[in-house]
Amino acid sequence: MSKPESQATNFVRDIIKADIEAGKIKPEAVVTRFPPEPNGYLHIGHAKSICVNFGLAEQFGGKCNLRFDDTNPAKEEQEYVDAIKEDVRWLGFTWAGDVRFASDYFDQFYAWAQHLIREGRAYVCDLSAEQASEYRGWATKPGKPSPYRERSAEENLDLLERMKNGEFDEGSKVLRAKIDMASPNMNLRDPVLYRIRKQSHHHTGDKWCIYPSYDFAHGQEDAIEGVTHSICTLEFADHRPLYDWFLENLPVPSRPHQYEFGRLNLDYTVTSKRKLKRLVDEGHVDGWDDPRMPTIHGMRRRGFSARAIRNFCDALPVAKSDGVVSIAQFESAVRDDLDKHAPRAMAVLNPLKLVIENFAEGAVENLSAPRHPKEDMGERRLPFTREIVIDAADFTEDTSLSRKKFKRLVLGEFVRLRGAYVIKACRVEHDANGQPATVFCELVENTVGEDPPEGIKPRGVIHWVSMSEGRKATIRKYDRLFLDAAPDKGEADFLTHINPESKAVLENCWIEPELAEALPESCFQFEREGYFVADRFDHTSEHPVFNMTIGLRDTWSAKQ
């Protein structure tokens, strides 16, 4: 069970290993859990947590539960439940048994709340939210007891039952634990256990008028499920004494322990669910699965593979401190994955028409090229015809440019078409604005896969697509959503940092014919352009749609 040298630091793994070696637990008895609240779509930070929780269970032969902490009906929806399950499956993980919900345990939570009241450790409080805040004190000032703190157990049980039955208005009463109003830990100053919320719940319907707080539900859920290592992010460290207090004061069936690790933060990224929801609700993006979003749905639609996301997360340490990871590091992991697994193809995003005058009109010569330069993926068909398109940026009439500065097609000179002939640009026709519209060329015979005759020196190699055999396609180009490395820091609204050029839709693009038949979510390297994916929803053979995943290299850092 020794840690391979290639594995990133993971203090929780080391704790589990030590527990096993000390005989405290058997490897197969290790139980972790991933407990998202279904109030939004999962993002890259959740992907890290998923990899940690499911990965540790897999490593030790234990199990990991998927549990929805659905204690707030005002913000939770079935749509989010379904999306989260899909994300976990897509990342390649399988949860133990059935999906679990905090709401599955609502009856038990209520019974335990009654238990705390009988033991003199909980009471119903009538303070308003403003009054409760005032009574709570400050970090440097002790709180003072609620005037309702000493109600009898009988009165509290009666009031709680009536709260459950819907007799009181929202906000008029809460159930609070009776702990220590002078505690330096604000979480222990008589925290709320139940609030009145007369809202329908996605899982329990209208059965309940009161709902437990996350703090009251969390540890008890772990105990019911036999979780051995409850792994949270650092913001829950101050909640651990409360987590332990509940376990110590309730007749729970097991005693889990909470561990906290630093969450994954990326620069140029926002991962607050509230802010992500604002981006969606206000129309700044095209939904939770917009390829510019850091959601798992968004990354999937952009063409990031589950394998690349897992490799990236697994390479990061599981440490006891927060930090910010460069998004360039994440993008590098995506490039490394795509470079190995993405077949090559050609697409022209800004087309300029070429006519090969010494190639027969109507003729089609089927050339071929490898689908990948290193991996064995077979060959692809490259139909060559009299009329082709190249990228407009690959042609110039300026013959003064040196070969070092411009390694493409120049009027009167030669260039090689990728996987095809060497051609020479002979003359050009212009449009009404004086821009090149059609370039008339001649090919050099017997140069497919062969060097040209002596004296002919192509400037470089450019990509192309046949106009008669290729297909028209829509290509969506994406860039980073934010211009600032820390968009949600400082006083300015994070929306002021949105990159206005983060999305461009190109309609007049040309692709190799086989690309039109690509299955949705198939990824390709469009030679000299970047990595692209067939859109998982919009792509069809009749109307091909590709999303740009990432460029061939990191040009953003150089620009900055």
Active site residues: 37, 263, 273
The neighbour count for residue 441, using CB atoms within 10 Å, is 25
Q: Which residues contact 41 (CB under 8 A, 6 or more apart)?
A: 80, 83, 84, 87, 276, 288, 289, 293, 295, 296, 297, 298
Closest CA to 12 of 75, 54, 43: 54
280-304 burial: b if 16+ Cβ within 10 Å, else e: beeeebbebbbbbbbbbbbbbbbbb
CB 168 within 8 A of CB 196: yes
Residue 413 φ/ψ, nearest 5 degrees? -125, 180
CA gap 2, 20 in Å, rounded:
12
Q: Which residues contact 449 (CB under 8 A, 6 or more apart)?
A: none
> Residue 169, exposed/middle/buried by CB under 10 A (0-12, 13-18, 19+)?
exposed
- DSSP states along 175-229: EEE-S-TT-SSGGGSS-EEEEE----BTTTBTS-SEEE-HHHHHHHHHHHHT-SE
Return the structure tokens found at 38: 């279904």
